[in-house]
């Protein structure tokens, strides 16, 4: 007679009940052990731990999520199109910074790119309604941002990147860009420039408006009339077009230096100027913002402002998790970014 094997249902993943049985205790106790809560005798705790190891069991997060009504994930929704995104050197390191902290706390990141306002709104709603995240990190704040009301209606926690333009109960994690822009403009003034133009992004973004305002204020403080300012779009093609527009000005209005709101526009604008036969920095000084990887390797290398998106991402997550855990974190200001002087800026032409 063939031996009768104990027939195990194939591949069934062990559950907390299996662990409890092996450790000769109840499921409740196992739960207490893994969440290390008091009230479990040392001997029992060790039996449970041994059983866990033996069965190679890890708690099923879905079940836990249902039970605790926590998702153990946070949402990050970007309303930019993918192309703009891939060339924006901010997000990848920012996300990586977030993940270092998420990893430690066992959370995951739900990322979504939205290419329209409607799909952005829909993504927030779905994530909230389906309870798939515990909170959000809000970037790209705009004037009177609709997301504040949206999240408030569902009483969802979130942290904002930079401070909002109106009062909100959401804490912010910000890195002021005023000092970086001010330092850039100051640097150009010291080099003797007097016609300093600005090429920014869409002004409904708060940080865009703020940087532009800083450029203007710094010039006025030095008694210099601000040169032309152009609202561009952060893209390479926008940078070229804006530069063309500036260089087409009559000679006595034409800027001798251009402050760009990001490196991509700066690099593109610089190429355009070189193509037109201008020398950089002898005829035209150029500055960027971000210190993207190529900045140091362009010809000439690009004077720019280095931010630290990784640290920012980590701080944002720390703050958000604290908020989710019921703490009441205040606004947090990170140290300002620093100006990196390279070869694309030089003394103003005579």
Partner DNA sequence: TCATTTTTCTAAAACGTTTCGTTTTTGCCA
Partner DNA sequence: TGGCAAAAACGAAACGTTTTAGAAAAATGA
* Site for DNA, rule CB under 7 A: 13, 15-17, 24-32, 34-35, 38-41, 43-45, 57, 59-60, 62-64, 66-69
**Rounded distance, CA 7 to CA 25, Å?**
24
Q: How far is the CB of 59 from DNA (least distance, A)?
A: 4
Q: How many chain residues bind its own copies (CB under 8 A)?
A: 66
Closest CA relative to residue 276, chosen from 318, 308, 244: 244
Residue list 309-328, contact with its own copies (CB under 8 A): 310
Q: Which of its own copies, DNA, none binds 15 (CB below 5-8 Å, type-dependent)?
A: DNA
Q: Which helix (H) or strand (E) holds 333?
A: strand 332-334
Write the interaction track for its own copies spanning residues 185-224; mark x where CB under 8 A is met and - where it is not. ----------------------------------------
Enumerate residues 162-191 that contact its own copies by CB under 8 A: none
Query: Closer CB to its own copies, residue 214 or residue 344?
Result: 344
Q: Which does 254 bind (CB under 5 to 8 A by kind): DNA, its own copies, none?
A: none
Residues in contact with 201: Cβ distance below 8 Å, sequence separation at least 6, in sequence order: 208, 231, 232, 233, 234, 261, 262
Peptide bond into 335 cis (omega under 30): no
For DNA, the closer CB: 51 or 257: 51
> Toward its own copies, which CB reaches closer, 218 or 240?
240
Kind of pairing between the strands at 304-306 and 338-340: antiparallel
- By beta-carbon proximity to DNA, the closer residue of 17 and 125 is 17
What are the distances in angstroms from CA 202 to CA 219, 240, 261, 304? 21, 16, 10, 20
Question: Tokens 């409890």 map to which residue?
Answer: 20
Please say whether the beta carbons of 58 and 72 come within 8 A.
Answer: no
Q: Look-up: residue for tokens 């199109």?
A: 81
Which letter does DSSP use for residue 9 in this model? P
CB of 43 to its own copies, least distance (A): 27
x/- binding map, residues 136-165, to its own copies, per CB under 8 A?
-------------------x----------
Rounded least distance, CB 138 to DNA, Å: 26
Q: What does 43 bind: its own copies, DNA, none (CB cut-off 5 to 8 Å by kind)?
A: DNA
Choose, by CB under 8 A, the member of 58, 116, 222, 325 that binds its own copies. Answer: 58
Is the Cβ of residue 102 or residue 170 nearer to its own copies in the bound state? 102
Find the shortest distance in angstroms from Cβ 106 to DNA: 11
* Residue of 25, 47, 52, 91 interacting with its own copies (CB under 8 A): 91
Q: What is the phi/psi pair of residue 142, to 5°?
A: -115, 175
Cβ-in-10-Å burial (0-12, 13-18, 19+) of 220 comes to exposed
Q: Which phi and psi angles does 141 have, rounded to 5°? A: -60, 140
Residues 180 and 339: beta-carbon distance below 8 Å: yes
CA distances from 309 to 97, 137, 151, 272, 286 (A): 7, 14, 25, 29, 23
Q: Which residues bind its own copies (CB under 8 A)?
A: 11, 13, 58-63, 65-66, 69, 71, 73, 81-83, 85-87, 89-93, 95-97, 99, 103, 108-113, 115, 119, 123, 126-127, 129-132, 155, 235-237, 239-240, 264, 267-268, 270-272, 274-275, 292-294, 296-299, 310
């Amino acid at each position: 007679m063939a031996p009768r094997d104990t027939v195990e249902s194939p591949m069934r993943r062990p559950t907390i009940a299996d662990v409890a049985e092996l450790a000769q205790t109840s499921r409740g106790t196992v739960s207490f052990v893994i969440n290390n809560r008091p009230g479990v005798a040392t001997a029992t705790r060790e039996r449970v731990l041994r059983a866990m190891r033996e069965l190679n069991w890890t708690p099923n997060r879905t079940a836990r999520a249902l039970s605790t009504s926590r998702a153990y994930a946070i949402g990050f929704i970007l309303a930019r199109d993918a192309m703009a995104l891939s060339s924006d050197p901010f997000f990848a390191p920012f996300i990586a910074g977030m993940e270092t902290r998420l990893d430690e706390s066992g959370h995951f990141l739900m990322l979504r790119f939205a290419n329209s306002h409607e799909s952005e709104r829909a993504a927030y709603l779905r994530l909230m309604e389906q309870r798939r995240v515990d909170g959000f990190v809000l970037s790209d704040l705009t004037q009177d941002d609709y997301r504040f009301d949206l999240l408030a209606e569902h009483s969802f926690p979130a942290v904002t990147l930079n401070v909002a333009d109106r009062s909100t109960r959401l804490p912010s994690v910000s890195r002021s860009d005023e000092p970086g822009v001010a330092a850039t403009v100051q640097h150009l003034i010291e080099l003797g420039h007097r016609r300093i133009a600005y090429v920014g992004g869409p002004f409904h973004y708060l940080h865009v408006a703020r940087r532009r305002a800083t450029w203007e204020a710094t010039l006025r403080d030095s008694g210099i009339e601000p040169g032309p300012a152009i609202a561009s779009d952060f893209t390479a093609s926008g940078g070229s077009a804006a530069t063309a527009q500036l260089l087409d000005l009559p000679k006595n209005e034409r800027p001798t230096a251009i402050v760009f709101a990001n490196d991509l526009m700066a690099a593109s604008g610089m190429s355009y100027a070189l193509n037109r036969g201008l020398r950089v920095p002898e005829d035209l000084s150029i500055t960027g913002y971000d210190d993207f990887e190529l900045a140091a390797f362009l010809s000439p290398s690009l004077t720019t402002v280095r931010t630290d998106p990784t640290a920012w991402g980590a701080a944002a997550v720390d703050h958000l998790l604290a908020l989710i855990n019921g703490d009441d974190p205040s606004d947090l200001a990170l140290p300002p970014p620093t100006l990196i002087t390279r070869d694309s800026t030089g003394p103003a032409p005579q």
